[in-house]
Amino acid sequence: SLLLALSLLSPWGSAGGSCPPRCVCASNLLSCSQANLSAVPAPLPRFTAVLDLSHNNVTRLRADWAPARLPHLHALLLSHNGLAFVSTEAFTHVPRLRHLDLSSNRLRTLDENLFSDLGELEVLLLYNNEISTVDRTAFENLGRLRKLYLGQNRIARFPLELLREGTRLPQLALLDLSANRLRAVPAGELQALPAWLRDRLYLHNNPLVCDCLLFQLLDRGRRRHLSAVEDFQDELRCSLPGASTLTKILDLAGKQPLNCSKAREAVLEAHLGDTVTLGCDSRWQGVRSRHWVTPGGERVLGDGGNGSVVLLTNGSLQLRALRPEDGGTYSCWVAGPLLNETLYVELLVHNFTLHGPHDTLNTAYTTLVGCILSVVLVLIYLYLTPCRCCCCRGAEKPPAPRDDSINSSVLSTTPNHAGGTGEPCGSHIASSAGAGQNGRFKGGGTPPLPTRQGPKAQRKVSDPDSVSSVFSDTPIVV
């Protein structure tokens, strides 16, 4: 009866939820790895969240592999299957998928709108396939994709459309294109990408052709400690004209026949609405030509012009009425008599004006307020202290009693102004109780106190010599 009850409580014991043959089921996990399957087992329970079909012989993934909707499935593992075909409707019934592993298969093409039904996909693994053709719409509608692994394939064209801001993959943070057949990359447009994206752009183990722009792109990444460059310096190689062996790209500085120069860069800060001038101070004399490239990859030509971006006659770039989108890395390409040079200027545009409402609490104002508060606290301490009489200097101060006596309160050492006698505080204390030896009060000689009414009747008071006792019962008026 106990086993029957457990089977009824378990999802696999319910109707339509039996575990497929040759699979292992645990809670909402279904593992059919290394089960020698040639097709996806059916039927699949609706509550399946993780489905592992790796290391099998599923060579084709048709549209009917999941005839019913699987609303809870968020991870599908199909690596090491010899998979050569995936239907464009294969993912219609798994819209909540976040992790898809199609690595180590025999895929050759990524067809049109292949993954368009996976609007919540975050990680897509396609490495170690035979992919040579990628349709421009294959990754359409993947607005949440963060990691895309395309390494160890046969891709010969760099898919720049995947990286441009505001295009198909707005949240992409990692793109692995290593070990493909890329011979050239758009270095100028890649330089304009945010640093966090360039840090996860892997290009090693590609048959790249040596180029100074490529060298400067990677050299700048090395100086900025980008992991995609630092971790694979030995694998980042290129071929020189007429050379039979590959050369490390980061060793091209000053090396013939290209004789590439290292990139120079500067950082400039500005505020909204400002006008700034980006200098292109090249060290070469007799410059033949120069031009600027904006962070968006647009080339600025001409000797001058009107508008927010102006190219000055001395080669500097002037930006007027700065906007937040004007920030980024600007590149100045200089063609010299011996070799080319690249200068980078990173412009940081603060999202407030220099004298705007966000700058009211500046450092000077905060310092002034702090000084005023300090003076007020000093005046409170000096002029609101109850017993500040010089005539008390010769009087002996009574020791604090051990019990909770109201004589330890500030009220007991404060002259009674209601009587109008004007006696100094020393005589007032002496007349309040009998003195012991050497004029000191006897412990326990505290006179009886009248009954007090109000919320402070049972209040304990601290030692009269402490600062806290001064402020405990004395009202403060500012």
Domain 268-349: which topology? Answer: Immunoglobulin-like (2.60.40)
Identity of residue 327: G
Instruction: Indicate if the pLDDT at residue 424 is higher than 50.
Output: no
Torsion sign, CA atoms 443, 444, 448, 454: positive
- Closest among 311, 308, 324, 305 to 279, alpha carbons compared: 311
Neighbours of 188 (CB within 10 A): 16
Element (H, E) at 268: strand 264-271
| pLDDT score of 322 | 87
Instruction: Indicate if the pLDDT at residue 283 is higher than 70.
Output: no
Question: Per-residue confidence at 397, pLDDT binned at 50, 70, 90?
Answer: low
Neighbours of 464 (CB within 10 A): 18
Domain residue spans of the chain: 268-349
Name residues whose C-beta falls within 8 Å of residue 412's C-beta, 6 or more positions apart in sequence. Answer: 406, 432, 464
CA angle 322, 323, 328 (to 5 degrees): 90
- Is the distance from CB of 327 to CB of 350 less than 8 angstroms? no
Rounded mean pLDDT of 81-100?
94
SS3 state at 406: helix
Q: If you write DSSP's letter for every residue of 100-131 in order, what string do you get? A: EE--SS---EE-TTTTTT-TT--EEE--SS--
- Give the CA distances from residue 268 to residues 29, 80, 99, 166, 343, in Å, rounded to whole numbers and listed in that order: 53, 51, 41, 26, 13
* Alpha helix segments (H runs only) across 324-396: 363-383
SS3 state at 264: strand
> Which is more confident, 69 or 355?
69
Regarding pTM above 0.85, the answer is no
| pLDDT score of 422 | 45
CA angle 430, 435, 437 (to 5 degrees): 135
| pLDDT score of 102 | 97
372: phi then psi, degrees, rounded to nearest 5: -65, -45
Rounded mean pLDDT of 61-67?
89
Element (H, E) at 290: strand 289-293
Instruction: Tally the residues of the chain.
Output: 478
Element (H, E) at 75: strand 75-77
